[in-house]
Amino acid sequence: MYKPKPTDGDTSWFVHDRFGMFIHWGLYAQPARHEWVQSREEIHPDEYRKYFERFNPVDYDPKKWAAMARDAGMKYVVLTTKHHEGFCNWDSAYTDYKITNTPYGKDVLTPYVEAFRDAGLRVGFYYSLIDWHHPDFPIDLLHPLRNHPDALEMNKSRDIRKYAEYMRNQVTELLTQFGEISVLWCDFSYPGRDYKGMPGKGHKEWESEKLYKLVRELAPNIILDDRLDLPKEKADIKTPEQWQPMEWVKVDGEPVVWEACQTLSGSWGYYRDEMTWKSPGQLIRMLINTVARGGNLLMNVGPTPKGKLDQRAQDALAVYGEWMDQCHESIYGATQSDYKEPLDCRLTQKDNKVYVHVYAWPFKHLYLEGLGDKVAYARFLHDGSEIPLKLNDWVSQHLQAGENALILELPIIKPDVVVPVIELELKA
Ligand code: GLC
């Protein structure tokens, strides 16, 4: 089985755990129409303030979120500490635009960290490089004021170097005041994308090299993502977003540690009227497809402005919970298999176990090329019942099952599991 080259951060736990929860939570939960609402609708910071003045998540109880993540089988969590809107979820000393100055009046980050750690999950922070509130953040193509008639003029007094320093100060807070943080997820760079004479931003503007050095000093083992516009050696994980890789994700032709981030419905922040919630089959297959190509899945929830997970999100997490409860062995510690995938199936592998995820239930027989003389025993993961191996019966003679095929005899009726999994124990 393939193992990517080690990077500066410690990804050993990460490639074992495979499944995490992303949480996008900020002022944008209130308009409830995408976390980019301020940019999309070009809302002036003065007007956007109405959300700051009203943020009061009275129902916030991170223990409930943590229990739901744990029950879904998730092993780590990444929360937005600050998203592009610039609002901070902790009591930062470097801004007033923070949770403690809202009507809620309390830090939400410390209880979050404690709750998830207590539930046995590793804790990560998302930190937006983009900031539509900071007065030194130059207006650019993504900024809500990009079409303001005085945008160019306003940029004259905005000093990106001060903003880069602000980020280092905040990252220092995040990596020193909350105990061990396992992932820092910085988002994102868009160098060279000019808009009306206002350039995009990349490593030069963020001073990413300095930020990188700082992060490594404060947290040598932390996993850092790939969105700082730094050379590839300085990214521990590659982070495809909102699309599902069909093969192991490569950088310059070389397979790397990767994590797909996905949403339960189409938006990251709470989006009340968005209706494209994924079906149970899609949810489970996305997780399997990811691990079957050597990756991790970071599945997002967007809590409501009152601080709860919407019923639709809870239902989706329960789908994961039920399936993982029965079939988690094919996910934790597993990766892309060395064997050929049978028709309508995905394989994962861990040591001497190959896991067959059956996407479309066949009639009676499943053919696995290349495994005919290799398997000692086969069983369903969900109930542990045996699946007979058929090697030289009449079926194999009638069918071209491929080279050295193994034939499994399946029940006619698909077991009542979203995606049934068969465990093949390889001979010693
Ligand atoms: C993006 C978006 C964003 C989201 C992120 C998650 O780059 O800007 O809203 O936080 O992807 O991957």
Q: Which of 37, 40, 78, 241 to mutate to test the pocket of ligand 1 (most atoms within 8 A of CB)?
A: 241
Ligand 1 atom at minimum distance from 83 CA: 10
Q: What is the DSSP letter of 238?
A: B
> If you measure from the C-alpha of residue 256 to the centroid of ligand 1, how many angstroms do you get, rounded to a whole number?
21
Same domain, 107 and 153: yes
Q: What are phi and psi of 189, to 5 degrees?
A: -110, 150
Percentages of the chain per state (helix, strand, coil), in multiples of 5: 30, 20, 50
> If you measure from the C-alpha of residue 2 to the centroid of ligand 1, how many angstroms do you get, rounded to a whole number?
29
How many separate domains does the chain show?
2
Same domain, 179 and 40: yes
Report which residue type is found at 277: W
- The verdict on residue 357 lying in a domain is yes
Same domain, 293 and 384: no
- The encoded tokens of residue 42 equal 């070009």
Question: Closest Cα to atom 12, ligand 1: which residue?
Answer: 241
| 213 vs 13: CA distance, rounded Å | 23
Same domain, 127 and 174: yes
- The verdict on residue 234 lying in a domain is yes
Q: Supply the range of the domain harboring residue 380.
A: 337-426
Ligand 1 atom at minimum distance from 80 CA: 10
| 86 vs 36: CA distance, rounded Å | 11
Same domain, 389 and 353: yes
The most distant pair of C-alpha atoms in the chain lies apart, rounded to whole Å, by 81
The answer to whether the CB of 91 falls within 8 A of the CB of 30 is no
Q: Where are the beta strands (DSSP E) in 106-147?
A: 122-128
| Number of other CB atoms surrounding residue 12 within 10 Å | 11
Is 137 close to ligand 1, i.e. is its CB under 6 Å away? no
- The verdict on residue 3 lying in a domain is no
> If you measure from the C-alpha of residue 46 to the centroid of ligand 1, how many angstroms do you get, rounded to a whole number?
24
Which residues contact residue 176 at a Cβ distance below 8 angstroms, ignoring those fewer than 6 apart?
218
Residue-level pLDDT at 392: 60
Same domain, 112 and 206: yes
Question: Closest Cα to atom 4, ligand 1: which residue?
Answer: 268
Question: Closest Cα to atom 5, ligand 1: which residue?
Answer: 187
Question: Can you give the CATH number for the domain in which 245 is found?
Answer: 3.20.20.80
Kindly compute the dihedral angle of the four CA atoms of residues 72, 78, 81, 85, in this order, to the nearest 10 degrees.
-90
| 318 vs 94: CA distance, rounded Å | 39
Q: Which of 25, 36, 40, 187 to mutate to test the pocket of ligand 1 (most atoms within 8 A of CB)?
A: 187
> If you measure from the C-alpha of residue 136 to the centroid of ligand 1, how many angstroms do you get, rounded to a whole number?
22
> If you measure from the C-alpha of residue 10 to the centroid of ligand 1, how many angstroms do you get, rounded to a whole number?
24
Ligand 1 atom at minimum distance from 35 CA: 9
The radius of gyration of the chain from alpha carbons, rounded to an integer in Å, stands at: 24
Residue-level pLDDT at 403: 73
Is 8 close to ligand 1, i.e. is its CB under 6 Å away? no
Report which residue type is found at 15: V
Is 268 close to ligand 1, i.e. is its CB under 6 Å away? yes
> If you measure from the C-alpha of residue 49 to the centroid of ligand 1, how many angstroms do you get, rounded to a whole number?
22
Residue-level pLDDT at 299: 98
Is 226 close to ligand 1, i.e. is its CB under 6 Å away? no
> If you measure from the C-alpha of residue 187 to the centroid of ligand 1, how many angstroms do you get, rounded to a whole number?
7
Beta bridge partners of 352: none
Is 241 close to ligand 1, i.e. is its CB under 6 Å away? yes
- The verdict on residue 284 lying in a domain is yes
- The verdict on residue 5 lying in a domain is no
Tens place of pLDDT per residue across the chain (428 aa) = 999 999 999 999 999 999 999 999 999 999 999 999 999 999 999 999 999 999 999 999 999 999 999 999 999 999 999 999 999 999 999 999 999 999 999 999 999 999 999 999 999 999 999 999 999 999 999 999 999 999 999 999 999 999 999 999 999 999 999 999 999 999 999 999 999 999 999 999 999 999 999 999 999 999 999 999 999 999 999 999 999 999 999 999 999 999 999 999 999 999 999 999 999 999 999 999 999 999 999 999 999 999 999 999 999 999 999 999 999 999 999 999 999 999 999 999 999 999 999 999 999 989 998 998 999 999 999 999 999 998 666 666 666 667 788 889 999 999 999 999 999 999 99
Residue-level pLDDT at 168: 99
> If you measure from the C-alpha of residue 219 to the centroid of ligand 1, how many angstroms do you get, rounded to a whole number?
24
> If you measure from the C-alpha of residue 396 to the centroid of ligand 1, how many angstroms do you get, rounded to a whole number?
50
The answer to whether the CB of 97 falls within 8 A of the CB of 133 is yes
Question: Can you give the CATH number for the domain in which 417 is found?
Answer: 2.60.40.1180
- The verdict on residue 309 lying in a domain is yes
Listed residues 334, 356, 389: the one ending a domain:
334
Same domain, 308 and 359: no
Closest C-alpha to 89, from 105, 103, 109: 109
The answer to whether the CB of 19 falls within 8 A of the CB of 296 is yes
Same domain, 377 and 269: no
Q: From its phi and psi, is residue 41 left (phi > 0), alpha (psi between -120 and 50) or beta?
A: alpha
Same domain, 23 and 74: yes
Q: What is the DSSP letter of 345?
A: E
- The verdict on residue 77 lying in a domain is yes
The model's pTM is 0.97
Is 165 close to ligand 1, i.e. is its CB under 6 Å away? no
Same domain, 302 and 342: no
| 6 vs 206: CA distance, rounded Å | 26
Beta pairing class for 223-224 and 183-187: parallel
Same domain, 291 and 346: no
Ligand 1 atom at minimum distance from 300 CA: 6
Listed residues 334, 352, 368: the one ending a domain:
334
Which residues contact residue 206 at a Cβ distance below 8 angstroms, ignoring those fewer than 6 apart?
129, 164, 167, 189, 228, 229
Burial class (CB in 10 A: 0-12, 13-18, 19+), 413: exposed
Listed residues 334, 366, 386: the one ending a domain:
334
Q: What are phi and psi of 377, to 5 degrees?
A: -160, 145
- The verdict on residue 9 lying in a domain is no
Residue-level pLDDT at 376: 97
| 177 vs 419: CA distance, rounded Å | 42
Q: Which of 143, 268, 271 to mutate to test the pocket of ligand 1 (most atoms within 8 A of CB)?
A: 268
| 128 vs 289: CA distance, rounded Å | 28
DSSP per-residue letters across 363-424: SSEEEETT-TTTEEEEEETTT--B--EE-SSHHHHHS---TT-EEEE--SSPPSSSS-EEEE
Same domain, 314 and 402: no
The answer to whether the CB of 61 falls within 8 A of the CB of 166 is no
Is 187 close to ligand 1, i.e. is its CB under 6 Å away? yes
